[in-house]
Amino acid sequence: MAGEQAVYEQPTLQGQVALITGAGGGIGRATALRLVQAGARIAAVDLNLAAAQATAAAVSAAGGEAWAAAAEVTDADAAEQTVAAVVAHWGRLDALVNAAGILRTGTALETTPDDWRLVLEINLTGTFLWSRAGLPHLLRAGGAIVNLSSLAGRTKSILAAPSYAASKAGVIGLTMTMAGHHAKDGVRINCVAPGPTETTMITALPTEQYDQVMAALPTGRLSTPAEIAEVIHFLLSDAASFITGQCIDVNGGLFMG
């Protein structure tokens, strides 16, 4: 009616079950707290059990249902067993967020073969393994996956090592390929590519490197984990029902692709 202010209704995930890797902190924890506001039940998975439990406690304090587990994202058996345990606990899986990851800085000459393999295993293979474990259940639910890529996977990086950039570019390719395979099955698969974000990945950098990152930001500030979580929530919801195979840049104008 004339004179009435429109009220925006947040997309709901009421009754859905969302599993989040890397849920112990940063973007993973912020995503858990955002999704519970939308009505989702949260399976918080992290290498650090205490961190996963802290996220679950925060979800419970916000009035939601939570379940916590420790798992190594590079362990295929752990992925299968953890997903099976979530489905046994709640009877379904509707959403998967692959947020676990590690950052390395430096040049190719400064990157050892072992460190190359470690970063690729955690950031890229881990995303594949948990997607593979979750897909059979998501196919039944008509669910969605959101993977975490990075600005470093989209363009030249300020500081990231080649291993990190390659892993995050790989996440984009993996996302598009899986999305193409499963669009007809009713499963949407997208990724988010954050720029520098206020997490320990960035705030723990040496002062010189941190200052270099800050100097490059058009907005003059880091993004917050909550801002990234908002985009993840949107992509998991029915508000994004016709979006699949996309990489959404959230970087404050640092890269405009």
Question: Is 8 tagged catalytic?
Answer: no
Gap between the Cα atoms of 107 and 161, Å rounded: 6
Contact 129, 73 (CB under 8 A): yes
- Determine if residue 220 is left, alpha or beta; phi over 0 gives left, psi from -120 to 50 gives alpha, anything else beta: left
Nearest to 129 by CA among 114, 141, 145: 145
Nearest to 144 by CA among 83, 93, 187: 187
* Cβ contacts of 59 within 8 Å, gap of 6 or more: 32, 33, 36, 42, 44, 65, 66
- The secondary structure element, H or E, covering residue 61 is helix 49-61
Contact 242, 187 (CB under 8 A): no
- Of the candidates 116, 130, 164, 234, the residue annotated as catalytic is 164
**Catalytic positions:** 164
